[in-house]
Amino acid sequence: MITIQNYINGELVAPKSGNYLDNFNPAIGKVYSKIPDSDEQDITAAQKAAEAAKDLWAKTSKQERSDIMMRIADLIEKNHHELAKAESIDNGKPLKLASSVDIPRASSNMRFFATAILHWASESHDMDGKFINYTLRKPIGVVGCISPWNLPLYLFTWKIAPALASGNCVVAKPSEITPMTAYLFSKLCIEAGLPKGVLNIVHGLGAKVGNAITDNDGIKAISFTGGTTTGKIIASKAAPKFKKLSLELGGKNPNIIFADCDFDKALKTTMLSSFANQGQICLCGSRIFVERPIYEKFRDAFVEKTNQLTVGDPNDPNTRIGAIVSKDHKEKILSYIELAKKEGGTILTGGHEVSLEGEFAEGYYVRPTIIEGLSYSCRTNQEEIFGPVVTIMPFDTEEEVLMYANSTEYGLAATVWTENVRKANRMAAKIDSGIVWVNCWLVRDLRTPFGGMKSSGVGREGGFNAFNFFTEPTNVCLSL
């Protein structure tokens, strides 16, 4: 059984308490590794190591920082298969998905920010030749990065890469539910020669380790991705300390499908945006609004295709839907299906867990589920479920569907399907969300602003936005 260790001051170390937690393989429902049950003492040690390293790392040339990060990216690629397999075992996602999305995108994150820093420039403002302002951007020092379980290494690297590239030292906490690839990543950092203390990875529970990051006065900024409830806790604790915060939170994203769409493309992509990664991507579209003239045709084709999805062994290349990440999360998803029934919804397909045979008998599986007949305002349509469960509803006008789309507390992402370019632009401008995909989904250009509005988050990451977050500007005004 693998025993995961913390990565502090350049070394793999046991938690100060000496205690470990169980780490489950969700495909078989069994413990397969141990994870440090770290606490405040480990965060203090990590923060001290980062503090000791910060001046040297900030002074290290951008090119040198970039070179080290590129070496880490190379090592991710070299260990692609091992990392993909580890991600699939830890999370329950199909190996095929981990192999084609999670791990390649993790190395892309490292490469992107390692090279972006070489092209980043700060502003200057000329005042009619009499004065000139220029803006220095200095690293903050020691920052915290806290990431979730749904895209473990992908989102972990998305947070730490811009922090490191812009000259900060990091205390990072991956999700306790999926710690394995962050642990393997710490070994790659050692192999790549990342100086000690620059990145520290502390494993354990959110209420202990995450909370200690929020509380630690030496950690000056926090980049967090996770649930809205956790975001609220972090914000309420960090605000009186005036910590900089970037919060990437939950969503309840609408898919708006007009009758004049490219039907086959809309259907094919809706399958992915509904059920990829068992519906556990913050950008998945969980409310599907279809214009009435094609409603029945779309609904029937969508149900038929969903019936064909294979749920099962994440290792099998034919599996489309792997295991739900944990038993608790499976129970949460099932409870929402019960709620939908109570609210008057009709289950068109799915609606239940799946019991597999043999070694997978204790695993956590839920059949992809489509629910019809619910009001846009019911709880099922307002609250984030974060599983392979979507609702489908007809609409008649643009105004009506906009009202539905914007009716939740969330505002992360949306898709719009139409061949009418003016209508697409009109809708994109009126939907309250940080990202709108027109006739596509999950296409990512890492230069663009990424994040949500309303309860989906505060601030934007991506491209130079992330460098602006991880640096403090000083404006210098000079008399000429």
Min. distance of Cβ 46 from ligand NAD in angstroms? 14
CA 257 to chain centre: 25
Exposed, middle or buried by CB within 10 Å (0-12, 13-18, 19+), for 302? buried
**Single residue of 13, 14, 58, 233 touching ligand NAD by CB under 6 A:** 233
Indicate if 409 belongs to the active site. no
**Single residue of 37, 39, 87, 248 touching ligand NAD by CB under 6 A:** 248
Q: What letter would DSSP give residue 101?
A: I
Please answer whether residues 249 and 231 qualify as being in contact, where contact means their C-beta atoms are separated by less than 8 angstroms: yes
Min. distance of Cβ 317 from ligand NAD in angstroms? 26
Min. distance of Cβ 148 from ligand NAD in angstroms? 3
Tell me the sheet residues that pair with 287.
Answer: 254, 391
Q: How many residues bind ligand NAD (CB under 6 A)?
A: 30
Is 384 a binder of ligand NAD (CB under 6 A)? yes
Residue among 360 and 386 whose Cβ is closer to ligand NAD: 386
Is 386 a binder of ligand NAD (CB under 6 A)? yes
**Single residue of 27, 194, 412, 414 touching ligand NAD by CB under 6 A:** 412
Joined tokens for residue 259: 């009758």
Please state the three-class secondary structure of 310-329 as a single string. CECCCCCCCCCECCCCCHHH
DSSP track, 117-157: GGG----EEEETTTEEEEEEEEE-SEEEEE--SSSHHHHHH
**Single residue of 207, 403, 440, 477 touching ligand NAD by CB under 6 A:** 207
Min. distance of Cβ 451 from ligand NAD in angstroms? 7
Is 249 a binder of ligand NAD (CB under 6 A)? yes
Taken in order 102, 105, 109, 114, the sign of the CA dihedral is positive
Taking alpha carbons only, the member of 32, 113, 38 closest to residue 68 is 113
As a whole number of Å, the end-to-end CA separation of the chain is: 67
Q: Which stretch binds ligand NAD (CB under 6 A): 10-18, 85-93, 172-180, 437-445?
A: 172-180
Is 368 a binder of ligand NAD (CB under 6 A)? no
- Torsion angles phi and psi, residue 417, rounded to 5: -120, 110
| Active-site hit among 51, 82, 176, 248 | 248
Q: Which stretch binds ligand NAD (CB under 6 A): 64-72, 121-129, 133-141, 246-254?
A: 246-254
Is 254 a binder of ligand NAD (CB under 6 A)? no
Q: What is the per-residue binding string for ligand NAD in 85-124, x denoting contact by CB under 6 A?
A: ----------------------------------------
Is 226 a binder of ligand NAD (CB under 6 A)? yes
Q: What is the per-residue binding string for ligand NAD in 122-161, x denoting contact by CB under 6 A?
A: ------------------------xxxxx----x------
* SS3 state of residue 386: coil
Q: Which stretch binds ligand NAD (CB under 6 A): 122-130, 173-181, 269-277, 301-309?
A: 173-181
Amino acid of residue 441: W
Is 26 a binder of ligand NAD (CB under 6 A)? no
* SS3 state of residue 185: helix
In the sheet where 30-36 sits, what is the strand order? 2-3, 30-36, 20-25
Q: What is the per-residue binding string for ligand NAD in 433-472, x denoting contact by CB under 6 A?
A: -------------------x----x---------------
In 10 A of CB 3, how many CB atoms? 12
Exposed, middle or buried by CB within 10 Å (0-12, 13-18, 19+), for 393? buried
Tell me the sheet residues that pair with 416.
Answer: 256, 438
Residue among 90 and 313 whose Cβ is closer to ligand NAD: 90
Is 225 a binder of ligand NAD (CB under 6 A)? yes
List, by residue number, the catalytic residues: 248
- The residues that touch ligand NAD, with contacts defined as CB under 6 A, are 146-150, 155, 173, 175-176, 206-207, 210-211, 214, 225-227, 230, 233-234, 248-251, 282, 384, 386, 412, 452, 457
